[in-house]
């Protein structure tokens, strides 16, 4: 059971390493239940590393990371149980090309439930209807536009009714109209289904209007955490460079991969 009084995600003094190098350190973050949190930052800042920790792919070197009020499990069985309560929308969609749209959405239900076929098919139709693609149930992934494929992937991520959704760059490769459709869907589904959502993105203008709190990662740490309004009003040079897309500033374009441990030791 999930304790409704606890935040969906809690990080306290978390450090994340890859290949013996600190990517992120000193991470403190709360994602309240029912909220939408945007995790923003330049490419290569460690946003996807944070997602890897939330799904249990990467074990923190130090600190406390809790999902649903409990530490992320280490055992294979514990991870499987936790991951059934996570919906993950991958940047590349991850649709199987030899399965139809409906078959792709049904995949998690077939893998993790023993539902009767009529019930399973009804759930698939419900998920496709939720993203506005019921009419495309029999289509193949190759027949879909980029925005449609992203919505099918979203329907599949929702198949097991997860209380926590993780979005990895959900707007990458989409035109402005498709981006607007996806952001509106994220907001509507979060509200109607009572989800908690964490969106990793560098699309600032599209993401900020739908989120409750914004977090910016740069230089191996969280450099901002607060409301979207406070972020947009900031005068901090590093944040302004990122928000305004300035070529010159504290964030060097040709910088080497950042080592958070080296920063902390300095």
For the residues of 2-67, what is the DSSP string, one character each? --TTS-SEEEEEEEEEETTEEEEEEEEEEE-TT-EEEEE--TTSSHHHHHHHHTTSS--SEEEEEE
**Residue 264: predicted pLDDT:** 56
The answer to whether residue 98 sits within a structural domain is: no
State the total domains in the chain: 1
Cα–Cα dist 224/234, whole Å: 10
In a domain, 37, yes or no: yes
> What CATH code is carried by the domain that includes residue 22?
3.40.50.300
Asked whether residue 16 is assigned to any structural domain, the reply reads yes
Residue 35 within a domain: yes
User: Domain for residue 127, yes or no?
Assistant: no
- Say what percent of the chain tops pLDDT 70: 92
Each residue's pLDDT tens digit, 89-100? 988 888 999 999
- pLDDT of 53: 94
In a domain, 59, yes or no: yes
pLDDT for 260: 56
Which letter, b or e, does each residue of 232-263 get, where b requires 16 or more Cβ atoms within 10 Å of its Cβ? eebeeebbebbbeeeeeeebeeeeeebbbbee
pLDDT value at position 258? 54
Q: Identify the pLDDT of residue 6.
A: 77
* Residue 224, domain extent: 1-81+199-266
Structure tokens given for 56: 């249990």
**∠ at Cα 51 (50, 53), nearest 5°?**
65
Tell me the pLDDT tens digit for each residue of 93-125: 889 999 999 999 999 999 999 999 999 999 999
Mean pLDDT of 187-210: 93
pTM: 0.88
* Helical (H) or strand (E) element with 218: strand 213-218
Does 265 reside within a domain?
A: yes
Helix (H, G, I), strand (E, B) or coil at 199: strand
Residue 153 lies in a domain: no
CA–CA distances in Å: residue 11 to residues 25, 174, 179, 229: 11, 31, 29, 23
Q: What share of the chain is helix, strand, coil (3-state, %, to 5)?
A: 40, 25, 40
Do 93 and 104 touch, CB atoms closer than 8 A? Answer: no
pLDDT tens digits, residue range 33-76?
A: 999 999 998 888 889 899 999 999 999 999 999 998 899 988 99
Report the distance separating Cα 112 and Cα 160, nearest Å.
8
Q: Give residue 19's pLDDT.
A: 86
Picking from 53, 70, 80, 56, the residue whose alpha carbon sits closest to that of residue 200 is 53
Q: Is the pLDDT of residue 215 over 90?
A: yes
């Amino acid at each position: 059971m999930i304790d409704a009084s606890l935040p969906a995600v809690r990080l306290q003094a978390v450090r994340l390493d890859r290949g013996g190098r600190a990517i992120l350190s000193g991470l403190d973050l709360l994602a309240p239940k029912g909220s939408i949190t945007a995790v923003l930052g330049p490419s290569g800042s460690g946003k996807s590393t944070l997602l890897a920790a939330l799904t249990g792919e990467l074990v923190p070197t130090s600190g406390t990371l809790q999902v649903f009020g409990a530490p992320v499990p280490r055992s294979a069985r514990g991870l499987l149980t936790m991951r059934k309560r996570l919906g993950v929308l991958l940047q590349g969609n991850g649709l199987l090309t030899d399965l139809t749209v409906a078959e792709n959405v049904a995949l998690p239900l077939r893998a993790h439930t023993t539902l009767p076929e009529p019930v399973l098919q009804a759930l698939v139709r419900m998920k496709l209807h939720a993203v506005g693609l019921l009419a495309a149930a029999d289509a193949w992934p190759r027949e879909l536009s980029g925005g449609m494929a992203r919505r099918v992937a979203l329907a599949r991520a929702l198949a097991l009714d997860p209380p926590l959704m993780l979005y990895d760059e959900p707007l990458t490769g989409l035109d402005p109209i498709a981006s607007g459709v996806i952001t509106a869907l994220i907001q509507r589904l979060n509200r109607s289904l009572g989800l908690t959502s964490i969106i990793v993105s560098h699309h600032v203008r599209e993401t900020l209007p739908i989120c409750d709190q914004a977090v910016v990662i740069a230089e191996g740490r969280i450099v901002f955490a607060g409301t979207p309004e406070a972020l947009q009003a900031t005068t901090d040079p590093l944040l302004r460079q990122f928000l305004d897309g300035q070529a010159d500033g504290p964030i060097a374009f040709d910088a080497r991969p950042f080592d958070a441990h080296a920063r902390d030791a300095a």
